[in-house]
Amino acid sequence: MLAPEFLEIIRTSIAAMSLWEVAAVILALAYLLLAMREKISCWYAAFASTAIYLVLFWDVSLLMESALQIFYLVMAVYGWWQWRHHKDKKKDLKIHRWRLQTHLIVLSGIAILTLVFGYLLDNFTSAALPYLDSFTTLGAVVTTFMVTRKVLENWIYWIVVDGASIYLYLDRGLHLTALLFLLYVVLVIIGFFQWKAIYNKQSLTAPVGLTPENSGLASDA
């Protein structure tokens, strides 16, 4: 049986949601589900959802999140081109992993830039929750790039970013979007295991002595 608190969140979400938010949520879900299956059409859904969220976030003073949507629009085109480019050459972009050193550098960069942008937003703008807004934005920038390059660990990054985003959206009254990101957390966990299974299969079918780790597939790190 669902907890009363959860049912109340659902009732509040339905009462507060707009048709544009509903459309953005549906398209965002379509993007994630298609990405989990490595379908290039995921980028079409991503572009449409992002265009809607660009306006929605600006209206609720999430300035960094709104700016992030511009980046998402560009990355939707870039991701489509990357996946399509490899298809045209009959050489699919393979799921691969980043080295530990790369993750440490990336995470340190996110932490430092979060403090910098959070400070600037806190002192020079009317942005809501400036540090959390900066963290989710910068984390999403990195993680979206990882998706375009099919880096396996992108799903782990998304768990953290989406989890933090839930509180951000609840605070701004975007209840349906907060519910979407709660669902995202569940789906990205599933997505990780799906991509991990594909990655393991690639390793088994690679020529002897050649794996996704040493074949150059991890060289974007």
Long-range contacts of 24-32 (CB under 8 A, 24+ apart): 24/49, 24/52, 24/53, 24/56, 24/177, 25/49, 25/176, 25/177, 25/180, 27/52, 28/53, 28/180, 29/180, 29/183, 32/184, 32/187, 32/188, 32/191
pLDDT value at 1 more than 60:
no
For residue 3, the model assigns a pLDDT of 58
For residue 17, the model assigns a pLDDT of 55
pLDDT value at 184 more than 50:
yes
pLDDT in tens, 21-57: 888 889 988 998 898 888 899 999 999 999 998 888 8
Give domain limits for the chain: 16-205
Q: Which residues of 65-81 are buried (b: 16+ CB within 10 A; e: fewer)?
A: bbbbbebbbebbebbbe
pLDDT in tens, 55-79: 888 887 777 778 878 988 999 999 9
